[in-house]
C-alpha cells in the first residue's frame, strides 16, 4: 500500500515538474526562434533592397557576356545574393555577395521556385538559405554579343529572388534544441532522485503512524483479551452454582470486579491517548507553584519508597511559578515516580531535582537499578511497550510513560530518558516558562 502511495507521489511529482520544465523550454525556444526569424527577415529585406530594379531598367553587362555581377560583402550582412528571373523562371541576372559557380545559382532558383512559396527555406551546398520572391514586372535588359555588339532585350513579368544564408542561425536553434534535450534528460534523473527522496520522507510519517495504529489495536486487543477471558470464566463459575448465595461466591464476584476495574482503567488510558492523537487536549492554564506541587506529590508517595527500603533524596528549588494544569503535571510526576520505584534495585536510591534556568523549568528523577539497554531506550515511550515481559500481568499495561509523554508534549515541553546499564535510569522533562 505504501509502496504504491510512494510511486504515485513520485509519478505525480515527475509529471508536474516535467510539464513545467517542458513549458519553460518551449517558451524559451519559441522566443529565440521568433527573434532569430525576425532578425533574418529584416536582413533579407535589406539584401533585397540593395539590388533595386526599375520596370524599364537597363542593367549593364548582365546578358550574354556573363550574367553574374559580384559585389563587396557588407560588414553587417551574412552571405546573400539576388537572382532576376524571367517569366519562365530562367535566371537572367545575378547580383551576388557569394563566390559560387553559376550552376549553383541556377539550382538555388530552381529549388526556391519548386517550393511554390513566395518565402521559405532551402538547403543548398550544405547550407541553409532563406529566400523571398518579389515581382518586378517588365524589364529592358542590355547585354553584349560575343562579337561585342550591344543588344537590348525586352523581358516580360520578371521576378527577383533574394537569398540569405541562415546556416549560423539555424545552427543556434539546433544547438539550443540539443542543449534543452540534454539538460531535460539530466534533469529528469535529478528530479527522479529528488522525488524518490521526498516521497520517502513524506510517506514515512504516514507509514509509521499506520504501523503504530495497527500495533496499538493489536496490543489493545491483546490486553483486553485477558480480563475478558477472566470475567467470562468467573461468570461461568457463578452460573454453574446458581443456588449458592452471593456471600459464598464472593471470591468470584471480587475477581470480576477487579478485572472490570482493570479494563476500566485501560479503556480510560486508551481514550486519553486516542484523544491526544487527534486534537490538542484542553488543559487549564493557571499559575501555580510547581515547587509545592511536586513536593506534595513526592510526600504522598514517600511511604511506598520507605516500604521498599529505598533511599529518597530531593532537591526542589522553592517558589517556581508557572502557568499550566497542575493536575496533569501531578499525573506525570506520579507516573515517573512509580516507574522509578518499580525498577529500583533493592536498597537502591531515588534522586529528585527541580530547578529552573532562564527560559525553562527542569524536572529530573533518577533511580539506581539495572537500567535500560540501548536497544529498549528509544521505545520506552511507545504504547504497551515493556522492557521486562514478566511484568505483563502485574497490573501494568505499558501506557504510563506514553501518557506522560502525551501530557508533556501537549504543554509544549520535552521529555527524555537516559540510562547507564547496570547502574541507573534518569527521566527528565522540561517546560518552557513562556509557554507553560
CA–CA separation, 26 vs 120, rounded Å? 23
Tell which residue, 398, 400, 296, has the closest CA to residue 338.
400
Q: Tell me the three state secondary structure of residue 371.
A: coil
Distance CA 301, CA 278 (A): 33
User: CA 97, 98, 99, 103: dihedral to nearest 10 degrees?
Assistant: -120
Let me know: does 130 contact 166? Beta carbons within 8 Å: yes
Q: Which tens digits make up the pLDDT trace of 152-193?
A: 777 778 889 999 999 888 889 889 989 988 988 888 888 888
pLDDT of residue 90: 85
Return the pLDDT at 191: 83
Task: Report the alpha-carbon distance of residue 129 to residue 289 in Å, rounded.
Answer: 91
Residue 362 in this model has a pLDDT that exceeds 60? yes
Helix axes 250-278, 400-410, angle to 10 degrees: 30
* Longest alpha-carbon distance in the chain: 152
**Pick from 235-249, 304-318, 360-374: least confident:** 235-249
Q: C-alpha dihedral over 322, 325, 331, 335, to 10 degrees? A: -50
Return d(Cα 222, Cα 227) in angstroms, integer.
10
Residue 140 contacts residue 150 (beta carbons within 8 Å): no
- Residues contacting 348, CB < 8 A, separation 6+: 310, 311, 367, 368, 369
Q: Is the pLDDT of residue 436 over 50?
A: no
pLDDT on residue 133: 92
**HSE (side-chain half, CA atoms, 13 Å) at 321:** 3
Q: Which residues contact 408 (CB under 8 A, 6 or more apart)?
A: 332, 414, 415, 429, 431
User: Do 424 and 367 contact (CB within 8 A), yes or no?
Assistant: yes
Helix (H/G/I), strand (E/B), else coil: 182: helix
Beta pairing class for 360-368 and 321-324: unpaired
Torsion on CA atoms 112, 116, 119, 120, rounded to nearest 10 = -70
CA nearest neighbour of 59 among 87, 92, 31:
92
Residue 67 binned pLDDT confidence (cut-offs 50, 70, 90): low
Q: Of 91-95, 103-107, 432-436, which gets the smallest average pLDDT?
A: 432-436
Model pLDDT for residues 251-269, shown as the tens digit of each residue: 888 888 887 887 787 777 7
- Looking at residue 317, the DSSP 8-state letter turns out to be -
d(CA 109, CA 312): 109
- Region 262-281: mean pLDDT is 68
Does residue 10 carry a pLDDT above 90?
no
**Phi, psi (degrees; rounded to nearest 5) at 101:** -65, 155
CA dist 95 to 120, 155, 160, Å? 20, 18, 10
Residue 75: what pLDDT? 52
pLDDT of residue 58: 42
User: C-alpha distances in angstroms, 89 versus 33, 55, 159?
Assistant: 32, 17, 8
CA distance 332 to 352: 14
As given in the structure block, the three cell numbers for residue 62 are: 548582365
By the 8 A CB rule, do 433 and 381 touch? no
Structural domains of the chain, with CATH: 282-435 (3.30.565.10)
**Cβ proximity of 283 and 411 under 8 Å:** yes
As a whole number of angstroms, the distance between CA 212 and CA 383 comes to: 9
**93-101 average pLDDT score:** 81
Phi first, then psi, for residue 276 (nearest 5°) are: -70, -20
Amino acid at each position: 500500500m505504501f509502496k504504491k502511495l510512494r510511486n504515485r507521489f513520485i509519478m505525480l511529482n515527475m509529471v508536474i515538474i516535467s510539464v513545467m520544465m517542458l513549458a519553460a523550454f518551449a517558451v524559451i525556444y519559441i522566443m529565440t526562434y521568433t527573434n532569430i526569424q525576425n532578425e533574418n527577415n529584416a536582413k533579407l529585406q535589406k539584401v533585397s533592397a540593395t539590388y533595386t530594379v526599375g520596370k524599364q531598367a537597363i542593367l549593364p553587362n548582365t546578358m550574354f557576356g556573363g550574367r553574374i555581377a559580384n559585389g563587396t560583402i557588407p560588414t553587417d550582412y551574412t552571405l546573400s545574393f539576388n537572382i532576376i528571373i524571367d517569366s519562365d523562371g530562367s535566371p537572367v541576372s545575378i547580383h551576388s555577395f557569394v563566390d559560387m559557380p553559376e550552376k549553383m545559382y541556377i539550382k538555388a532558383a530552381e529549388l526556391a521556385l519548386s517550393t511554390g512559396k513566395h518565402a521559405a527555406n532551402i538547403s543548398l551546398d550544405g547550407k541553409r538559405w532563406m529566400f523571398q520572391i518579389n515581382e518586378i514586372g517588365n524589364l529592358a535588359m542590355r547585354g553584349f554579343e560575343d562579337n561585342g555588339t550591344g543588344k537590348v532585350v525586352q523581358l516580360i513579368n520578371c521576378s527577383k529572388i533574394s537569398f540569405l544564408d541562415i546556416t549560423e542561425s539555424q545552427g543556434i536553434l539546433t544547438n539550443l534544441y540539443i542543449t534543452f534535450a540534454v539538460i531535460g534528460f539530466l534533469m529528469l534523473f535529478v528530479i527522479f532522485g529528488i522525488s524518490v527522496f521526498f516521497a520517502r520522507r513524506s510517506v514515512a510519517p504516514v507509514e509509521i503512524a499506520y504501523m503504530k495504529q495497527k500495533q496499538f489495536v493489536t496490543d489493545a486487543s491483546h490486553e483486553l483479551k485477558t480480563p475478558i477471558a477472566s470475567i467470562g470464566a468467573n461468570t461461568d463459575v457463578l452460573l454453574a452454582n446458581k443456588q449458592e448465595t452471593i456471600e459464598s461466591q464472593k471470591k468470584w464476584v471480587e475477581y470480576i470486579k477487579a478485572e472490570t476495574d482493570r479494563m476500566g482503567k485501560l479503556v480510560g488510558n486508551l481514550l486519553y491517548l486516542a484523544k491526544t492523537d487527534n486534537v490538542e487536549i484542553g488543559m487549564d492554564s493557571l499559575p501555580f507553584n510547581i515547587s509545592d506541587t511536586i513536593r506534595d506529590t513526592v510526600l504522598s508517595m514517600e511511604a511506598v519508597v520507605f516500604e521498599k527500603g529505598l533511599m529518597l533524596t530531593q532537591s526542589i528549588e522553592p517558589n517556581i511559578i508557572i502557568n499550566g494544569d497542575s493536575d496533569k503535571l501531578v499525573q506525570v510526576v506520579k507516573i515517573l515516580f512509580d516507574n522509578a520505584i518499580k525498577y529500583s534495585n533493592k536498597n537502591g536510591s531515588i534522586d529528585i531535582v527541580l530547578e529552573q534556568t532562564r527560559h525553562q523549568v527542569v524536572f529530573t528523577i533518577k533511580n539506581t537499578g539495572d537500567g535500560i539497554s540501548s536497544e529498549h531506550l528509544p521505545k520506552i515511550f511507545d504504547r504497551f511497550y515493556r522492557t521486562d515481559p514478566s511484568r505483563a500481568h502485574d497490573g501494568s499495561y505499558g501506557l504510563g510513560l506514553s501518557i506522560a509523554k502525551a501530557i508533556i508534549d501537549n504543554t509544549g515541553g520535552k521529555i527524555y530518558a537516559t540510562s547507564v546499564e547496570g547502574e541507573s535510569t534518569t527521566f527528565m522533562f522540561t517546560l518552557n516558562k513562556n509557554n507553560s
